[in-house]
Structure formats: structure tokens, C-alpha cells
Amino acid sequence: MYDKILVTLEATPTDRAIIEHIKTLAVGMHSRVVLLHVADGWAARTYGPEAVSDEIIEDKAYLEKVRNEFRSAGVKADAELAYGDPSQEIVKWIEKEGCDLVAMSTHGHRFIADIFLGTTAHHVRHNINVPLLLVRAK
């Protein structure tokens, strides 16, 4: 059913909710997982893939760590780093690469916080045509 699952990561503790959920799901469904993080600092937004910064070095190390965690659980996993606005880059990735399920952790902000902070999940939800699994972080 879900051959290819895209898991979006923020590189924050919020990620643990979706990582644990998808690890179990992917093992049971024999799914391949693609871990996607979007670097959105000044260097990433300005220079894209040519950017060099501490943020990008840390992001790559984080992705590798999580990818190895999935692989240790017996899940085929790849990791990719995109550059720019997270909500736009996630939608672009889905349109270009395709997947059967998108999985994201959410912060669970309420109305006022969403107005000021915006939500990546909201933008993604309204711009994709594949199932979206949202798991609220504790």
C-alpha cells in the first residue's frame, strides 16, 4: 500500500513523534522511506545546494543519523536535503519524486499561533494529492 513514504524532518525533538510512528509502519508494510529536511537558513535560501554553513553541516549529519536509525530497524531509507522555504520545497519534492504517503510531525499550535507562525503542514496539505499523515508531537 505505501511503497514509498516521505518523512519530513525539522531536525528538532518534534521529529521523534513521526520517526517512531513511521518506523513501525514501514517495517510492517515493507516500505521504503525517504527522509527530507529543508535547510532554510540565510545561506541555504540564498545559495541553495552550493551553500556552505554550520547549519547545513549539522543538517546533513542529522539526516545521516536518522537514516541509520531506520536502516538498523530493517527499513530501506534514503535521506535528502533541500534548500529554501520548507512548505514550498516539500511540495516541489512530492511533485517531482512522488510518494504514496507523506508523514509529518506537527507542533499543535492553535489559531493565533498559526496566524503568526504559519504552518508548513497547512500549506503542504492543501497542495498535494497523496495521503498525508500528521502526528502531533508531545
3-state secondary structure of 135: strand
* Residue positions counted in the chain: 138
Range of the domain at 96: 4-136
What's the CA gap between 136 and 104, in Å, rounded?
Answer: 9
Round to whole Å and give the CA distance between 79 and 62: 10
CATH code for position 42:
3.40.50.620
Q: Please tell me whether the overall predicted TM-score, pTM, comes out greater than 0.85 for this model.
A: yes
Cα–Cα distance measured from residue 114 to residue 120, given in angstroms and rounded to the nearest whole number: 10
From first to last of its 138 residues, what are the pLDDT tens digits of the chain? 899 999 999 999 999 999 999 999 999 999 999 999 999 999 999 998 999 899 999 999 999 999 999 999 999 999 999 999 999 999 999 999 999 999 999 865 555 545 444 578 888 988 999 999 999 887
Q: What total of structural domains would you count in the chain?
A: 1
